[in-house]
Chain A
Amino acid sequence: AQSVTQPDIHITVSEGASLELRCNYSYGATPYLFWYVQSPGQGLQLLLKYFSGDTLVQGIKGFEAEFKRSQSSFNLRKPSVHWSDAAEYFCAVGFTSGTYKYIFGTGTRLKVLA
């Protein structure tokens, strides 16, 4: 069955430090992978996506993610975190099983220290 695991429930980093959020997926075919960000009380904003091709994808707000098929991972990175990056981050797999839908991970809450 398809699943997405985000091992870190909470992560705290200092402003200006680098960030890596982990995401592992289980899916039998080529995955379509997404990272979304959610601010408190808000909907989900797409940061970046991977469909095929270059395994390092660039997104908005200075984020990037690397797809590693051998590790079934799609980790999100940012070289220098800003206080405004504090939010919850969700990794998702998109797939079709009769209907095209997403499976989301449980999210990682990022706290940024000034």
Chain B
Amino acid sequence: ETGVTQSPTHLIKTRGQQVTLRCSSQSGHNTVSWYQQALGQGPQFIFQYYREEENGRGNFPPRFSGLQFPNYSSELNVNALELDDSALYLCASSLRSFATNEKLFFGSGTQLSVL
């Protein structure tokens, strides 16, 4: 049990809709990262939030956006959903953003299906 919780666990949307996924980080962790895991693939880095600011982004279009709140919980928003957005979305929290040997603690993920 990592202490990172994500909601909802499953979600079904149709193409063109918008979705919001939520993550509560482990107590004391001020950094949240989001990863997308497509079927049969390893997770891919979407972006990271540190103290409510976006702190880095992977190769994802602007329709993927996020927020981090003062309590360090976070949201991932995806606009104009496409079929290829169907994936498991993982949230990971960590104690520090800039340490190069930091461990990430992952939640169980939100399984998004786009029809």
Contact = CB atoms under 8 A, between A and B. Distances in A.
* B interface residue count range (under 10 / 10 to 19 / 20 to 34 / 35 or more): 20 to 34
Given A43-B106, A44-B106, A46-B103, A100 B43 contact: no
Interface residues of A, number: 28
Contacts of B98: 96, 100
Interface string A82-98: 00000000101011111
Nearest to A106: B42
A101 B107 contact: no
Contacts of A71: none
A101 B97 contact: no
Interface string B72-115: 00000000000000000010101001111111111111010000
Given A41-B111, A43-B109, A90 B100 contact: no
Nearest to B49: A99
Contact of A105 (B2, B42, B106): B42
A104 B102 contact: no
A40 B90 CA distance: 14
Nearest to B6: A43
Interface string B22-42: 000000000001010000111
Contacts of A34: 103
Given A32-B101, A100-B99, A101-B56, A106 B108 contact: no
B65 interface: no
B41 to A, nearest CB: 6
Contact of A107 (B33, B41, B45): B41
A63 interface: no
B16 interface: no
Contacts of B42: 4, 90, 92, 104-107
A43 B100 contact: no
B97 A100 contact: yes
Interface of A: 4, 32, 34, 36, 41-46, 49, 51, 90, 92, 94-107
16 contacts: A41-B109, A42-B109, A43-B106, A43-B108, A44-B90, A49-B101, A49-B103, A94-B101, A99-B97, A100-B97, A100-B99, A101-B33, A102-B35, A102-B43, A105-B42, A107-B41
